[in-house]
Each structure stands twice: as structure tokens, then as C-alpha cells.
Structure 1
């Protein structure tokens, strides 16, 4: 049985210290580059496993692409965690959410929320894939602050996860759902966790909503591996007439942002820019990089800026497992436990068994729904 003990941790982000000491103008030109020794070793192992899989599937995959949520991958490309637990990596800088909860000014609250979400993107730079959750699988965790995490897999095809982060004092409720879509074509993977995220604040009844951007992972089979996000994240607080549009991918920066960064800065794909409006009027401007930092500027160009998130200095928060999990908790999965113990053969065997059970259950549900006229 998997070990359910553990402690909630607040740790420094060692990898971020390498990136976070850079000025925004000196950040990467192609997103996050996987070039550490550990990354390179994992990538070498993954590529061999993927090439073996491609030989099995056929070369048409390279031409036509494939939906990665519907294919059984070898355990060599996985980390010993379920996607439900991996979700919490997005909330590693949860102290920023706490600052948002305690902020009396709605504008300041929105600024912290934007930094909380952007910071979470840089935590998704693992080379390993989490295990796909089984329908009905759950995960429960708790942060040092006492905030509790509840996650559940509510759909198999399409794969949809839902979650809540709750404060025992009732100051807020963070909830959402995600339908993870990923497709491979040639030497890259394009993916997105589509679905609404929202935080409800009891202080004034406000609700802030947003969705995550798409990502592109290059160098799957050969060459340098890199990860970049692109798109616009729109944060909305209808109660206070606030909207913040943050665009990621410096190649698409606006004219105003180019005045900040200069001509060369417009090519930095990890950089972001955006405006916070109240009732349609710009009240603050944001710039930064999802790899390094988020800065807000009040009062237009030339005003002093405030860095609210700095990856080189910000602590990383990791929830600990609860001591009384449901029997459906991710940590009871035999394939995960075997991989944690380093037994890839047993992990692969259990993974195949569980996938067979999922397919059988899905077939029986389809028969039952047809019989019921659904």
C-alpha cells in the first residue's frame, strides 16, 4: 500500500532561481528550455520509449497526428502521480491567492489573482507525464494554512477533472473543471486544459473567473525540447466591473508593450503583457514572463512598477495528503505505487489491467444508457 504520510511543504524553487534572477528583458526567446542534466536524461529515456511505441502504431501517426488522451503510453514516460495530484502544481504560489483573499481593494485583489495564475504556469515544466485518472478517482490534500483540496475525475471520455480548494473559515472558495486535450503531430505536442476556473470571495461576494491558455511542447522526438504558452487569459470580476486581459507570447505584443521592452523584447515568447480595466477604463498595466516575474504599473508609462511575483524568491507550496482519504484516492492505485517503488514492469502490468477495467466499465455504461433510452 502506498505511504499516505507526508507533510505540507514550503520550499524554494531551485530551478526558478536560475531564471528568476534575469531581468524581464533577458528572459528566454523560446519559452522554457529543458536543458538541465536531469531533464536531458529523462528526455533520452522518453524518446526511446516513444520511438518504440511509434514503431508499434505505425508511421501514419507522424503524418496524421494522434489524440494522446486515447492512447496507452508506456510507464517510462510517466511520473508516479495522477493528474489530480499534478493539478496542485498549478497552485504552488498559493500565498498569492491568500493575499488576494485578504485584499480589501478589488483592483489589488485582481492583481494578486493574475500573478497567482501566471506563476502556476511555470510549475508545469516537468518532462514526465502524470497518470490519467480513472473515472471516479479522487484526491484530497491539505496546505499548511489549513486550506483543503478536493479533486475528482468526473468524466472518462472526454477526460474531465473537477476540483475545489476550501478555506475552513469560509473566506473564499476556489473551484473549477478541466478537460485536458493533447494531440501529437510530428515532433510536437499541442495541448490545453480547457474549462472554467473561479474564486468566490466572501468579503464582498465577488467572483473572479478565467481559463488557461494553450501550450506547445516541441522537441518530442529530436532536437532541443521547449515549452511555450500562447493566447490571452481573460480575468473577469463582474461585481466590481473589472476585466484583465493578459496575452502570453511576446511575438504578439502590443504597441504599448513594445515601448516597454523595445524591438528585441517583442520576440521573447515567454513574456506577457496586459491591461486591467475598471468599467472600460485602464487602471493598471501588467508585464512580465511566466518563467520569471509579474510586474504591475499604475498611472501609465513612466510610473514605478510593483513586482508581485518573483520566481527566484517565491516559496513553493505543496499540499500534504490527508490522513483519512476516500478509498478512491489516487494514492491507492497499484500502478502508481509500483512506479514509486521503481518497478516499471509491475507498474506497466497494473496500468494495463486498470485500463482494461475502464474499457469494460465504459462498455457496460453504454449498454445501460442505451437500455434506459439515454
Structure 2
């Protein structure tokens, strides 16, 4: 139905038309009335993550207009709404009036009971000062009361003595006058104190009322949100248990279509029957994104190598830490820093560690190996197309840790390294090195020659047994609300994975979050794994923060009806299979920078690492320990030393050029620049020597950067 009532007298929901502007007119919106608040959403599914607006009914004015039309006015703003019918309109108006009466009664009851609720920090500090002043005035009143009682009793005695004397003497008159004067002075003092008390209370009464009203609204809105989430959770669980067939392979309930993928059709699949999916035959449309900064820049160079498990068929595991010190509750406004740095280079802005997480970019990049088991599985695939599915899932999995991770990693110093030795647990190890200013190189040695991965703008993944050589690039990471609001991070863009040996191809589209989209947030759009001839073999779908699935195509045909005259291809698939699922976050992760289980171990101190290893970086260690003031001071010293060394190198290079000599650039210790024979790309490749130096504990070549 268009209008439904939940249990309780103050809970209604349904569709109404809301006036937006003269260009779009009335637009259909989903309204929810609960706990004295009227909230509206673009769709029902949007209730899970985005509220378009909330109207407090306790202070709203309800005006019924012509047919099916009514207006809500609150806080100087009017909301023009229309219902489907007159009966529908009357039901909404009655419900709103009842909700307004209930909210007003609740507010009055709350005022009588003295339940003011929590106050915002600025209001709390102000009111504490006012209460202190009021307490002082109350003490003055108490003192005046005692004096009035004392002097009043003395005056009463004097008057009694005066009545007993027929001929009062001059001494008696003087005593009476003195005591009467004292009583008048004390009374005036009490009156003045009372007036000050009343004036002060009246001056702050309205402010207290506004603060109290704000806190009530926030509390009610929070209660309503929690209630809605609980209902949605129960509904989803019940729907999943009772009607699994009502969900298509993309996980979108029936009736909720995507505006972006309007050319894609979904067909329900029986448990043992194929699934039908249609996608556009070809799409080369260009997309642009405005962003503030990349978490991962395309000039960062990385090489990885993974190793197979040992001959016993199981990994040897050692105990590693599962927690770090809780993050201190330090607040800092980025705008207060950025506004003084306008016109300066970002690399020269002294950013405090308050915006960092206690990991370097070398360590953060190494987290791409968290789901290395996907590549272990890929090495055992007989089909390059099945292998492509796992490689695609691996490329998506590296973004799963970024959902809540808004902290900025430490920029590595020139010559800084990081090793990750997981041979005992997972059969791989990696070595990373900062080879140039603002350019990162990461490498992993090959243990059993199963595969190696490198990135130089593009990421290269080579399977030595089959010769399959996959290449792809990173998408754009966008940090939102840097100046105002709560930071959150989104991934957007395209990943095109190409197998250079046989031209197999897979196109993954990371859809940017939009308030106006009905898509599942953080969605990786439907994509097809194609062979070198352009024939589709697998459909991939999922989200980059949760899971990826693949469905094998068993038949394809051409259809019609695509947008912009494009022809659609209809694919018939088998039921989807899970490729990758995100690991749950550790307990208390919200207080530990939202680190994953792997991230918690990356900065754990280990014996025998190089003196240039990120674990030994002092400002990073101080930050992890919660000593942020000391970390900021150490960070500034390290950065200033790095700038001084850079100026020295530039001066030496300029002197060499003046003398006609070739300027010597910084030479990395563990990497060298090579050109890939297949792609022609120039990149830094691990040249060997690190692990041998570690075995000998000979670090004489390493610079003293810390």
C-alpha cells in the first residue's frame, strides 16, 4: 500500500510527492513518520544510509491546502507535499497532527521532569559558568536571609522596649534608628541580589531551551535511526531466509533497478538452472572525477612475489600481536592548517600526525597482499580465464581495507625500507624501498618461482609456469569532507586487466558514491571476462568492500533495446560462485585506526631488520604509542633533515653540471631500473642482495636516515 502504519500510535510511512523546484516540480519521495520526526528519502533502500531531510513536528505548523495538498512549516522553511488521493492526504494530516500533539506533550513532560539530556561541549562549558555564578548569588541570598533574621529580631526587641517606656530617652531612639537602618540596608541588598539572580536566569533561559530542544531532536533522531536499522536488519534476514529466489545474481531486490546500468536486465535463477544476465555489447564512455588527493598515486612502483605452501601442505604459523594502543581522542581542524598554507607546495606543508595512521606508505602498499591466497589459488588454475577471475578478485580485494581508513600513511623518507616476511605463515616475503622523492618502490623476492608482481604506474602480475602476464592500474581514491564534516573515502574509476600472453581481458568499473543513485554503495559494476576474440566466458559482480562473485557464461545471444542505440548482449549463466570475501575486522578496531588483522602486525618490532626499516621510524613509533605531541616534534625534525639533504644533493648536481660533469642521482640499494620486454615500460625491479645482507646482518650500506 502507499500508506502503512507500524506498531505504535506514532509510526507511519509511505510515498508522497514533494515540491523540489520549478525545473523538476513535484518528485516522489518515501516519507517515514516516527518518534515526533518526519524524515524523507529518495527510495526505501536509501533508508539504510542516506536521509534527505528531517522535520521536527513539535514546532511544525500544518496547513491543509486544496486537493491532496498540504504544507508543513518549520524553522522558517516550508515543505509542500501532495498525496495520491484525498483519503491518503487526510490520513497523513491526521497522523501528523497526532504526532505533533504527542511530541508537544512529551516535551512538556520532559520539561517538568527536569530531564535535559546531554549538552554539546560549548553549551556545557557556558552553562557550567552560569551555574557557578547562580550558586554564588544563591549564597548571597542565604547570607542576606540570615542577616535579615538577625536584625529583624533585634529590631523587634527594640520596638518592644520602646512600647514599655512611656517617655523614651534619646539613647533608646538612637538604638531603634540604627537597627532600622541596618534592616533597611540588608533588605535592599537582598532585593538587589534577587534581581541579579532573576535577570541572569532570564538572560540564559532561552539559550537553555534551544540547547535542550536541539538535544531532544538529536536523541529522537538517533532513536529513530536505530529503530529503522533494527527493522531493516530483521526484514533482510527474514527475506533472505524465506525467499532467496527473490534476489538476482547482483544482490539487488526486485523493483530496485540501477539508473546507471539501465541497459542491464536481471532474470531470477533457479537453484539448478542457468542465470540470464544482459550487458551492453561495448561501452567506451569516458568518466571524470573531481578529487582532493590520492591515497595511492600512479607513480608508486611495487614488485611482489608470492610462494607456495611447504611440502607438508600446511603453513607454519607464529604468534603475532592482535592489538595496538588505542588511538587518543585528539581533535584538530584541517582548515586551520590549510588556510595558512595557500599557495605553498603540499610536500612542504608540515602536516601533524593527527591526520596520519601509524603506518608508512610502504607498509600500507604491502597490505595489497592480505588476500594472497587468491593468487595461490590462481597458480593452480588450468584455464587462464578462471585465473583471470581470481586476479580480478585480487585487484578488488586491495581496496577492502580503505572503507574506514581515512588516516594518511606516513610519507617514506628517501632510502627508507620495509620488509614483510611471511614465509612461515603464508609462503611469501616482500621488501620495499623509497628510491626517489615521492616515488615508491616495493619488492618481494621469489621463493619458489611461482609468480611475481610489480607496479610502475601499471601493476604487473606474472605466472612463470604458464607465462600469463596480467597488467592493470589502480583506481582513484577520493577523500571527502576534508574541510567540514566527517572524513570518508571512496574509490572510483575503471580497472582494465589485460593478459599480454593471449589478450584475455576483464573490465571492472568502480562506481562512485552518489546521493542520487539507487545502486548498492561501493559497487563494482557487472563486467565480462573475455578471451582474445572478444567472447565472454564469466560475469563478475560484487562490491569492493565486501565480496566478489563469478558466474560462468553458458550461452550468449544478441538482443535489442539498449540505450543510445547500443545493442545488448544477453548472457545465460550458471549460478554465481564466491571468489573473495572480506575478513571481519578485529575486535575494538574502531579504536585502533580500523586496522585489519594484517595491518595490526605490520609495525610490530622484529629483530634483524635493516636500520632503514619503517618499524624503526621514531615519529611513527611515538604515534602508535599515543604520544602524538612527541611524534609531531620528531616528525618535523626528520622532515627538515630530509629537506636539508635534498638541498645538498641539488647543490652538488648543479655544481657538477657547471663543471660539465654528469650529475649523480640517488641510487637505490636493492632495486635497479629495467625495461619490460613485453610492455616496454620502464620500472624499478628488485636486483637482489637484501635477504643475503639480512642473513649476514651486514647493513653497512644502509644510510642513517632516522
Q: TM-score range by the shorter chain?
A: 0.7 to 0.9
Match of 2:466 in 1: 204
Partner Cα distance (2:525, 2:329) in 1 = 31
Match of 1:51 in 2: 335
Q: Are residues 1:173 and 2:435 paired?
A: no
Q: CA deviation at 1:116?
A: 0.9
Match of 2:652 in 1: 368
Q: CA deviation at 1:70?
A: 4.2
Q: CA deviation at 1:365?
A: 1.3
Partner Cα distance (1:264, 1:303) in 2 = 28
Partner Cα distance (2:542, 2:656) in 1 = 54
Match of 2:579 in 1: 308
Q: Is the 8 A contact 1:101 1:201 kept in 2?
A: yes
Q: Are residues 1:148 and 2:375 paired?
A: no
Partner Cα distance (1:235, 1:227) in 2 = 24
Q: Are residues 1:222 and 2:484 paired?
A: yes
Partner Cα distance (2:252, 2:617) in 1 = 45
Q: Is the 8 A contact 1:91 1:117 kept in 2?
A: no
Match of 1:162 in 2: 441
Q: CA deviation at 1:51?
A: 3.3
Match of 2:386 in 1: 108
Q: Is the 8 A contact 1:166 1:174 kept in 2?
A: no
Aligned residue pairs total 307
Q: CA deviation at 1:89?
A: 2.1
Q: Are residues 1:84 and 2:362 paired?
A: yes
Distance 1:264 1:219, change over 3 A: closer
Secondary structure of the residue that 1:123 maps to in structure 2? Answer: helix
Q: Is the 8 A contact 2:406 2:479 kept in 1?
A: no
Secondary structure of the residue that 2:366 maps to in structure 1? Answer: helix
Match of 2:353 in 1: 75
Higher relative contact order (CA 8 A, sep 6+): 1
Q: CA deviation at 1:136?
A: 0.8
Match of 1:341 among 620, 625, 628: 625
Q: Is the 8 A contact 1:164 1:173 kept in 2?
A: no
User: TM-score, structure 1 length as denominator?
Assistant: 0.73
Distance 1:360 1:251, change over 3 A: closer
Partner Cα distance (1:250, 1:129) in 2 = 21
Match of 2:551 among 297, 300, 308: 297
Q: CA deviation at 1:295?
A: 1.3
Q: Are residues 1:274 and 2:527 paired?
A: yes
State how 1:119-138 maps to structure 2 within 5 Å. Answer: 119-125=397-403, 126-138=405-417
Distance 1:269 1:171, change over 3 A: closer
Give deviations 1:184-218, integer Å, cap 9, x for gaps. xxxxxxxxxxx221121111122111110002221
Partner Cα distance (1:160, 1:240) in 2 = 31
Q: CA deviation at 1:309?
A: 1.0
Distance 1:312 1:148, change over 3 A: closer
Secondary structure of the residue that 1:127 maps to in structure 2? Answer: coil
Q: Is the 8 A contact 2:327 2:626 kept in 1?
A: no
Q: Is the 8 A contact 1:216 1:229 kept in 2?
A: yes
Give deviations 1:63-118, integer Å, cap 9, x for gaps. x8x76444221111112211111112222211112111222221111111111110
| Structure 2: 5+ residue stretches without partners | 1-232, 241-249, 259-325, 554-570, 586-595, 658-662, 664-706
Q: Is the 8 A contact 2:522 2:544 kept in 1?
A: no
Match of 2:611 in 1: 327
Q: CA deviation at 1:269?
A: 4.8
- Mean Cα displacement is larger for which, 127-136 or 221-230? 221-230
Partner Cα distance (1:121, 1:350) in 2 = 31
Distance 1:164 1:104, change over 3 A: farther
Distance 1:147 1:78, change over 3 A: same
Partner Cα distance (1:155, 1:86) in 2 = 18
Give deviations 1:213-252, integer Å, cap 9, x for gaps. 0022212232354322111101111112211111110689
Match of 1:353 in 2: 637
State how 1:26-37 maps to structure 2 within 5 Å. Answer: none
Give deviations 1:41-81, integer Å, cap 9, x for gaps. 989845x2413313533xxx4xx8x7644422111111221
Give deviations 1:280-326, integer Å, cap 9, x for gaps. 22222211111121111221244321120122579965666664211
Distance 1:150 1:24, change over 3 A: farther
Which has the larger Rg? 2
| Structure 1: 5+ residue stretches without partners | 1-17, 30-40, 178-194, 253-262
Partner Cα distance (1:269, 1:340) in 2 = 30
Match of 2:252 in 1: 25
